[in-house]
């Protein structure tokens, strides 16, 4: 169970959102949403996730597929599974939003109360301690490896260029410690690049690193569209560097 929760959390940190909305400034509404490109593999992965947690609905459109948890009781039950997971510490904004949602549901917070708590972002008014970003890198124990699997499912890229070279990359907005920890774990020599809007990217064409990445995801299996691209990536990589396996 813990492995799947870790995978789900990685997927949420990458492509999910934790939402506090309102209806006509009267009632608060809470949602957890994961939105992905609509492909057969992504659809099946989200259907499996919905079935595993017994909550939410799957909404496919022409271009996207969404797993949305809208029912207050289901949101509360689902987030309670995540809130104590140490992996959440490395995405402070997500942990903060989860704690706010849980507090709002458990204390039946009104829109007026919520507005007061949020009126000045420079002053913390919530009656629980504000989560702090860890200062130590991620140590990739077993559950962290499954978290990494889910995170790469959301934010990773396996690419084969026209010239026959292959690359692996991961990106995240405002996720310095996450990207740096992944760089260290896979021993990627390349520098972390800062793109527009604060997005950090680590990318490597290094064959040794790509082989290490391939062997990792053979043991920690991707589940959606990223598995499809990984299978092509691995086949291409191994055909070139079979003697290094």
Q: Report pLDDT digits (tens) over 79-100.
A: 999 888 887 888 888 999 999 9
Does position 185 have pLDDT exceeding 80, yes or no? yes
At residue 121, the 3 state secondary structure works out as: coil
Residue 80 pLDDT: 93
Whether CATH 3.10.28.10 fits 142-244: yes
CA distance 191 to 210: 16
Does position 39 have pLDDT exceeding 50, yes or no? yes
Asked, colleague to colleague, whether 2-118 and 142-244 share their fold, the answer is yes
Residue 28 pLDDT: 96
Collect all residues with Cβ–Cβ distance below 8 Å to 123 and sequence separation of at least 6: none
Collect all residues with Cβ–Cβ distance below 8 Å to 109 and sequence separation of at least 6: 28, 103, 117
Residue 242 pLDDT: 59
Residue 25: C-alpha distances to residues 28, 105, 112 (Å): 8, 16, 8
Does position 244 have pLDDT exceeding 50, yes or no? no
Task: Please say whether the beta carbons of 173 and 198 come within 8 A.
Answer: yes
- Domain spans of the chain, in order of start: 2-118, 142-244
CA distance 23 to 139: 42
Residue 55 pLDDT: 96
Q: Which CATH number fits domain 2-118: 3.40.50.1820, 3.30.70.520, 3.10.28.10, 3.40.30.10?
A: 3.10.28.10
Tokens of 169: 């990359």
Residue 153 pLDDT: 96
Does position 124 have pLDDT exceeding 90, yes or no? yes
Look at 22-31, 93-102, 131-140, 224-233 and tell me which has the smallest mean pLDDT: 131-140
Q: Which whole number is the average pLDDT over 124-136?
A: 89
Residue 66 pLDDT: 97
Does position 245 have pLDDT exceeding 50, yes or no? no
Does position 2 have pLDDT exceeding 80, yes or no? no
Does position 149 have pLDDT exceeding 90, yes or no? yes
Q: Which whole number is the average pLDDT over 14-40?
A: 94
% of residues, the chain, pLDDT over 90:
72
State the average pLDDT for the chain: 91
Q: Which whole number is the average pLDDT over 140-159?
A: 93
CA distance 206 to 168: 9
């Amino acid at each position: 169970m813990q492995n799947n929760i870790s995978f789900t959390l990685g997927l949420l940190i990458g492509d999910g959102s934790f939402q506090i909305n309102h209806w006509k400034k009267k009632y608060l509404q809470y949602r957890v949403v994961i939105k992905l490109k609509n492909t057969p593999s992504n659809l099946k992965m989200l259907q499996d996730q919905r079935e595993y947690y017994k909550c939410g609905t799957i909404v496919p459109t022409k271009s996207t597929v969404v797993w949305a948890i809208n029912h207050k009781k289901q949101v509360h039950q689902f987030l309670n599974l995540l809130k104590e997971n140490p992996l959440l510490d490395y995405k402070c904004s997500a942990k903060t939003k989860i704690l706010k949602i849980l507090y709002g549901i458990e204390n039946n917070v009104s829109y007026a109360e919520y507005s007061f708590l949020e009126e000045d972002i420079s002053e913390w008014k919530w009656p629980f301690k504000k989560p702090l970003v860890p200062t130590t890198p991620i140590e990739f124990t077993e559950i962290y490896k499954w978290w990494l699997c889910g995170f790469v499912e959301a934010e990773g890229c396996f690419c084969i260029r026209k010239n026959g070279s292959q690359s692996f990359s991961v990106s995240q907005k405002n996720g310095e410690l996450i990207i740096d920890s992944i760089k260290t774990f896979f021993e990627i020599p390349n520098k972390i690049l800062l793109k527009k809007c604060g997005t950090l990217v680590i990318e490597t064409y290094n064959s040794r690193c790509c082989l290490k990445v391939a062997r990792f995801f053979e043991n920690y299996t991707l589940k959606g569209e990223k598995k499809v691209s990984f299978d092509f990536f691995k086949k291409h990589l191994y055909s070139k560097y079979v003697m290094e396996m």
